[in-house]
């Protein structure tokens, strides 16, 4: 049989089946049930945030966070161009405008100096996105935000458990969001979480995700809300995944260390650098091809596919795609990285032989 190595795979180590079985046995399968509250409580305590609210996915988590901050039509939000499209789309859902900032060439986090050129009278918030498991320089982001009186929404969809200055990414700004899509560090199939230390933001997110229903008066709606709820089954899976989060992260960090050793000193490839003061959780091991590489990125991906190794291109810059097309975005680093980079398989079920095969095959084509 032809070899096939997926770029991402979920891994179930603990109580997932048992908790799901419990949902079935007790018939609490919809968005009411004990696992919702347990998952939220366990998440806030593990992450060191006062409040955590579950929701149906990571995209609506960002939407809820922005709405809770009062972002609306006429407002601008500073968003990296080099990100997953959900970060920008959520801004649009609010009727606000994402203003794209460039990223740093080494860590790929939002470039605060570029944000400084793009901040204006309508700017209300900045959204650092902790890409591929590596936290942004939150010290720089927080200082910038306080200088311009901006709210900080952390898109932490790709970095559960990563830390900056000893604090969990996603809990440093005003509000942070997570995704539990099937390829993320911990998963619920589809799912999301909003975390904050601010009670009124927590209240607002809870109100909005449940159709705007008054918490004191059932079936009385105080504003137009949404059905953005998570199910008890999703929360059951999430709670089990969260119980083992450290093991999931350690397994990924071990894979990344193996890759590091195999790629170190090679002139044809360059890896994403960890932010100073941060600990990455290595969601996706990511490489750039340098000028020394003997093959283009797209040709390499095709060759690897023939060899049974699935890869992904790095995110296309937001300003290069139809919904946000803008020739004058001024994000040259994002364009450069996006054109030269790829994500290679990073998941817990890779054996050391798989990792050696993947790295060896890549270097065979690039050197
Ligand atoms: C996955 C992801 C999201 C969205 O999460 P979904 O659960 O797929 O809606 C948002 N931002 C980033 C950076 C992501 O990687």
In order along its 367 residues, the chain shows pLDDT tens digits of: 678 999 999 999 999 999 999 999 999 999 999 999 999 999 999 999 999 999 999 999 999 999 999 999 999 999 999 999 999 999 999 999 999 999 999 999 999 999 999 999 999 999 999 999 999 999 999 999 999 999 999 999 999 999 999 999 999 999 999 999 999 999 999 999 999 999 999 999 999 999 999 999 999 999 999 999 999 999 999 999 999 999 999 999 999 999 999 999 999 999 999 999 999 999 999 999 999 999 999 999 999 999 999 999 999 999 999 999 999 999 999 999 999 999 999 999 999 999 999 999 999 999 9
360 CA to middle of ligand 1, Å? 31
Write out the two tokens for 203: 């209240």
Q: Give the residue numbers annotated as catalytic, written as ranges.
A: 184
* CA-closest residue to ligand 1 atom 2: 157
Torsion angle of C-alpha atoms 311, 335, 59, 64, degrees rounded to 10: 160
Per-residue pLDDT, 52? 98
Q: Where are the alpha helices (DSSP H) in 307-351?
A: 332-340
Write out the two tokens for 59: 């995209």
108-114's contacts with Cβ under 8 Å and 24+ in sequence apart are: 108/82, 108/132, 108/134, 108/272, 108/286, 108/337, 109/80, 109/134, 109/135, 109/136, 109/137, 109/275, 110/78, 110/80, 110/136, 110/141, 111/333, 112/137, 112/140, 112/141, 112/143, 112/144, 114/330, 114/331
Q: 129 CB under 6 A from ligand 1?
A: yes
Per-residue pLDDT, 1? 60
Write out the two tokens for 364: 């065979």
How do strand 163-164 and strand 167-168 relate by DSSP bridges? antiparallel
Pocket test for ligand 1, best of 157, 177, 188, 318 (most atoms within 8 A of CB): 157
Phi/psi at 120 (5° precision) = -150, -175
Q: Which atom of ligand 1 is nearest to the CA of 191?
A: 7
Q: 234 CB under 6 A from ligand 1?
A: no
Pocket test for ligand 1, best of 7, 55, 58 (most atoms within 8 A of CB): 58
* CA-closest residue to ligand 1 atom 7: 58
């Amino acid at each position: 049989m032809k070899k096939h190595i997926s770029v991402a795979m979920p891994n179930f180590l603990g109580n997932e089946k048992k908790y799901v079985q419990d949902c079935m046995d007790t018939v609490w399968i919809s968005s009411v049930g004990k696992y919702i509250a347990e998952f939220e409580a366990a998440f806030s305590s593990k992450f060191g945030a006062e409040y955590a609210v579950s929701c149906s996915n990571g995209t609506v988590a960002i939407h809820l966070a922005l709405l809770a901050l009062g972002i609306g039509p006429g407002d601008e939000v500073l968003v990296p161009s080099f990100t997953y499209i959900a970060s920008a789309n959520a801004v649009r859902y609010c009727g606000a405008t994402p203003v794209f900032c460039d990223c740093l060439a080494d860590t790929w986090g939002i470039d605060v100096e570029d944000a400084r050129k793009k901040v204006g009278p309508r700017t209300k918030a900045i959204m650092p996105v902790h890409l591929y498991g590596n936290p942004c320089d939150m010290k720089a982001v927080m200082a910038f935000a306080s200088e311009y009186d901006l709210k900080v929404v952390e898109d932490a969809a790709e970095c559960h458990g990563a830390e900056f200055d000893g604090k969990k990414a996603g809990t440093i700004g005003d509000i942070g969001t997570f995704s539990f899509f099937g390829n993320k560090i911990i998963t619920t199939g589809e799912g999301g979480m909003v975390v904050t230390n601010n009670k009124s933001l927590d209240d607002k997110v809870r109100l909005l995700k449940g159709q705007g229903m008054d918490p004191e008066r059932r079936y009385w709606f105080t504003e137009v809300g949404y059905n953005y709820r998570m199910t008890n089954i999703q929360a059951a899976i999430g709670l089990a995944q969260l119980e083992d989060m450290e093991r999931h992260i350690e397994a990924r960090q071990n894979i990344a260390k193996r890759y590091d050793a195999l790629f170190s000193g090679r002139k044809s490839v360059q890896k994403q650098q960890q932010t100073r003061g941060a600990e990455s959780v290595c969601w996706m091991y990511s490489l750039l091809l340098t000028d020394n590489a003997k093959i283009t990125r797209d040709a390499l991906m095709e060759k690897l596919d023939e060899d049974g190794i699935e890869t992904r291109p790095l995110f296309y810059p937001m300003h290069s795609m139809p919904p946000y097309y803008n020739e004058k975005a001024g994000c040259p680093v994002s364009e450069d990285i996006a054109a030269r980079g790829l994500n290679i398989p990073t998941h817990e079920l890779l054996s050391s032989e798989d990792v050696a095969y993947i790295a060896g095959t890549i270097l065979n084509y690039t050197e």
